[in-house]
C-alpha cells in the first residue's frame, strides 16, 4: 500500500512539500475534503470493520487487557461518531488567515499579525484508532500536513482509516502527501520521526507517560506534551458546602480516567469537621478509595474508611476512583500545596470570599483556575474552542486545550510604498 511504502524521511519531506500548498487552501477546499472523508467513512464501514476485526483477533492472541481491547474496538456506531466528529470540525471557524492584531505604524507601514499553519504536524498515538481520523481532520482544518504514527496493536485499523482519509482528500483536491501514516510501532521509527527537523514543525504525542518519556529523550523537533493532570479541589473556610460537595463529587467521580478529574481534595480546617464526614461518606458510597492526612482521618470519624496518605499520594494522578484528602490552615497553604504537587492542569477553589478567590486565581500556577466550578470543564469543546487534540500543561505556545488555533503559528505581514529604515 502506498501509504506505508516510503521511508519516514521521504514521507516527512512529501508532507513538507504539501504543506506549502495546504497553507494557501481556502476553507472551502479544506471543508470539502473533510466532508468527503466523513462520507467515505460511512461508505467504507464494512472494510474498516474487517481490518479492525484483524487487530482485535491479534489483540486477543496477544492477551491485551479488556480495557485495551475496548479502546481498540470499532463498530458501526463508533464509526458514525467518528464521521460526525469530522463534520463538527467542518463547522468550526478556520483559524488560518485570522488577523490577530494589526496597526498602521508611524511611517505608514501597515502591519498585520496573521494566523498561519505550523506546516507539518506529526501525531504519535496509542491504541485508539479513531485518533487517526480525529488528528488528521484537526491538522487539515488548521492547514497543516499531518504524519500519523499509531501503535502496532491498531495497525490494520489505522491503515485502512488513513487510506480512507487520504483517498477522500485526494479526490477532493488535496495535494499529494498532505496526510500520511508511517507504519511500525518501534522506538527506532519514533526516533526517526522525532528528528526530522526542517521537515516536521511539531510532534504531538497522544498517549501515556512511556510514550512521552521515549520522545523526550530523542526529539530534536518541538514537542507539545499533552498533559497529565494532578488536579485539586480546595474547599475554603467560607465555601457553600452543598456546592463544595457537588463539585468534589463531579470532579472525582463523573469520569475518573480523564486528565481534568480531581486527584486531591483540600479542605480548610474551619470547615473540616462539618464538611469531611459528609463528603467522605458520599465519596465512599460512590466507590472512591480514600487516603487522608491525620486531620482528615480524625474528622472522617465513622463516615468512611480513610487510609493514611503518603507524600507520594499528593503527587499521584490516580486516573481511577482514588482520592487523596488533606486539611490546610489557609488559602495560602492550599496554593502552596497545589503549586508543589500539582501538574499545572486544572485547579478549583470553592469559596464565597472574594479575597480568597482572587488570591487563588493569582497564586495558583496552572492552565485553568476555577472558582466555584468543577475542574472537569477544562476541554476545548466546553470552552467554546471546538475539538481539541489534547490539553497542554506547558507554558510556552499552548496552555490548556490544544485546539485549531494552537495548531497554528502566525506571521507578520507588512505592506509599504517603498519605506526604508532611517
Q: Residue 62's closest CA among 128, 78, 54?
A: 54
Among residue numbers 56 through 115, which ones bind a second copy (CB under 8 A)? 103, 105, 109, 111
Nearer to a second copy, 202 or 279 (CB): 202
Q: Which is nearer to a second copy, 208 or 242 (CB)?
A: 242
Binding mask 395-414 for a second copy (x = CB under 8 A): xxx-xx--------xxxxxx
Q: What is the 3-state secondary structure (H, E, C) of 54-111?
A: HHHHHHHHHCCCHHHHHHHCCCHHHHHHHHHHHHHHHHCCCCCCCEEEEEECCCCCEE
Beta bridge partners of 294: none
- Cβ proximity to a second copy, 36 vs 145, nearer residue: 145
For position 339 contacting a second copy by CB under 8 A, the verdict is yes
Is residue 383 a contact point for a second copy (CB under 8 A)? yes
According to CB under 8 A, which one of 2, 20, 76, 99 is a site residue for a second copy?
20
Distances (CA, A) of 264 to 36, 153, 361: 45, 34, 18
Stretch that binds a second copy, among 65-73, 126-134, 146-154, 248-256 (CB under 8 A): 248-256
Residue 245 and residue 280: Cα distance in Å, rounded? 9
- Does the footprint of a second copy cover residue 361 (CB under 8 A)? yes
| Site membership for a second copy, residue 246 (CB under 8 A) | yes
User: Which of 263, 255, 252, 223 minimizes the C-alpha distance to 392?
Assistant: 223
Check residue 415 for interaction with a second copy (CB under 8 A): yes
Written as nine digits, the cell of 181 is 501514516
Which has the closest alpha carbon to 162: 9, 170, 305?
170
Alpha-carbon distance of 344 to 228, in angstroms, equals 9
One of 160, 367, 387, 404 touching a second copy (CB under 8 A): 367
Candidate ranges 154-162, 287-295, 299-307, 381-389; the one touching a second copy (CB under 8 A): 381-389
Identify the three-state secondary structure at position 33.
Answer: helix
State the number of binding residues for a second copy (CB under 8 A). Answer: 62
- The HSE-up count of residue 200 (CA atoms within 13 Å, CB side) is 31
Residue 244 CB, nearest approach to a second copy (Å): 9
362 binds a second copy (CB under 8 A): yes
Is residue 247 within the footprint of a second copy (CB under 8 A)?
A: yes
Under the criterion CB under 8 A, does residue 250 sit at the interface with a second copy? yes
Contacts of 170 (CB under 8 A, 6+ apart): 176
337 binds a second copy, rule: CB under 8 A: no
Q: What is the binding site for a second copy (CB under 8 A)?
A: 20, 23-24, 103, 105, 109, 111, 118-119, 201-202, 222, 224, 240, 242-243, 246-247, 249-251, 254, 339, 357, 361-363, 365-374, 376-378, 382-384, 394-397, 399-400, 409-421
Amino acid at each position: 500500500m502506498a501509504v506505508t511504502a516510503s521511508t519516514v524521511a521521504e514521507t516527512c519531506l512529501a508532507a513538507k512539500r504539501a504543506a506549502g500548498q495546504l497553507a494557501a487552501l481556502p476553507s472551502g477546499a479544506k471543508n470539502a475534503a473533510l466532508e468527503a472523508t466523513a462520507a467515505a467513512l460511512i461508505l467504507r464501514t464494512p472494510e474498516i470493520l474487517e481490518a479492525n476485526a484483524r487487530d482485535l483477533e491479534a489483540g486477543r492472541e496477544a492477551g491485551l487487557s479488556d480495557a485495551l481491547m475496548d479502546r481498540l474496538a470499532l463498530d458501526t456506531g463508533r464509526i458514525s461518531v467518528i464521521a460526525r466528529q469530522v463534520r463538527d470540525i467542518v463547522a468550526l471557524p478556520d483559524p488560518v488567515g485570522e488577523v490577530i492584531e494589526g496597526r498602521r505604524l508611524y511611517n505608514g507601514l501597515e502591519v498585520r499579525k496573521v494566523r498561519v499553519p505550523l506546516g507539518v504536524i506529526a501525531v504519535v498515538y496509542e491504541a485508539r484508532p479513531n485518533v487517526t481520523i480525529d488528528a488528521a481532520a484537526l491538522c487539515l482544518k488548521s492547514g497543516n500536513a499531518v504524519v500519523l504514527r499509531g501503535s502496532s496493536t491498531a495497525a490494520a485499523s489505522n491503515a485502512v482509516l488513513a487510506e480512507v482519509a487520504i483517498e477522500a482528500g485526494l479526490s477532493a483536491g488535496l495535494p499529494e502527501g498532505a496526510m500520511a501514516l508511517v507504519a511500525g510501532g518501534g522506538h527506532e521509527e519514533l526516533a526517526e520521526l522525532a528528528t526530522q527537523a526542517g521537515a516536521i514543525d511539531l510532534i504531538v504525542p497522544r498517549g501515556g507517560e512511556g510514550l512521552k518519556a521515549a520522545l523526550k529523550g530523542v526529539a530534536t523537533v518541538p514537542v507539545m506534551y499533552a498533559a497529565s493532570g494532578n488536579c485539586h479541589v480546595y474547599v475554603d473556610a467560607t465555601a457553600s458546602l452543598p456546592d463544595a460537595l457537588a463539585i468534589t463529587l463531579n470532579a472525582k467521580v463523573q469520569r475518573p480516567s480523564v486528565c481534568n478529574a480531581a486527584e486531591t481534595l483540600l479542605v480548610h480546617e474551619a470547615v473540616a469537621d462539618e464538611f469531611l464526614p459528609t463528603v467522605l461518606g458520599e465519596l465512599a458510597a460512590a466507590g472512591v478509595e480514600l487516603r487522608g492526612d491525620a486531620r482528615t482521618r480524625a474528622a472522617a470519624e465513622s463516615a468512611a474508611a480513610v487510609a493514611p496518605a503518603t507524600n507520594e499520594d499528593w503527587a499521584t494522578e490516580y486516573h481511577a476512583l482514588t482520592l487523596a484528602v488533606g486539611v490546610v490552615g489557609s488559602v495560602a497553604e492550599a496554593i502552596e500545596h497545589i503549586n508543589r504537587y500539582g501538574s499545572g492542569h486544572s485547579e478549583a477553589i470553592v469559596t464565597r470570599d472574594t479575597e480568597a478567590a482572587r488570591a487563588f486565581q493569582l497564586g495558583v500556577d496552572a492552565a485553568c483556575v476555577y472558582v466555584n466550578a468543577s475542574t472537569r470543564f477544562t476541554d476545548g469543546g466546553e470552552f467554546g474552542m471546538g475539538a481539541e487534540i489534547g490539553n497542554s500543561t506547558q507554558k510556552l505556545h499552548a496552555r490548556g486545550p490544544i485546539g485549531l488555533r494552537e495548531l497554528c503559528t502566525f506571521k507578520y505581514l507588512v505592506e509599504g510604498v517603498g519605506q526604508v529604515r532611517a
